[in-house]
Structure 1
Amino acid sequence: MGVEALVHNRHGDRVDPVPFLVTAGLAFTFALSFGPIYGLSYGLTLAASLALSTLAFAAATGIAYQQLVRCAPPLDAGPLPPGPRFERLLYAGMALGVLIVALTVPLL
């Protein structure tokens, strides 16, 4: 029994878990790599910085689960039309670009 058999959307249909796992991994990487550094530079303690970073990771993972697993179409639903797929990919790329640029801004 593979991982796909364990991941179901809100209708009980099987869902591909890979997009969720990649998104959760990116959220972990960004939140716990940059969060404590920024927290310490703004005067928070290490414990508070780690707690806020973990909270940001948990929130991003929850949102990713909601969007990519719970509300996902089943595997046998067929491909989505190219228009909405391209639009979602464009918005996700722009959001990731803004995040990377925001993280490279020097701290004051």
Structure 2
Amino acid sequence: MNSDHVRNTAPMQASRRCGARARSGRPCRAPAVGGKSRCRMHGGAARTGAPRGNRNAQTHGMFTSDSTAERENVRTVLDQARKLLRELSRTDPDVTATIDRAPRGRHAR
């Protein structure tokens, strides 16, 4: 189909582009949504993105240096207690039963 219709693509080419980066590292070539700096695929569409005061992004603190050090200290104390119980079990058979009942492993309860 050959058409004599003249396409006016200048406004499309002049529109502001999305400010996001594609996975290739190059900038996204899609036009930005009106009044926003991103295209519809990168968060410019209505009601997209995280809610204000995003509760989903709150961190739990399990891997902070303080909590990691605390767990390491507890692990050390438990290891020392087990070592002491093993030494005592050589002299007292009742201690052996206590050691066998003690939880072991990372997720033992």
Fold match (TM-score > 0.5): no
For CA contacts below 8 A with separation 6 or more, give which structure has more relative contact order. 1
Name whichever structure is richer in helix by fraction: 1
Structure 1-normalised TM-score? 0.30
Structure 2-normalised TM-score? 0.30
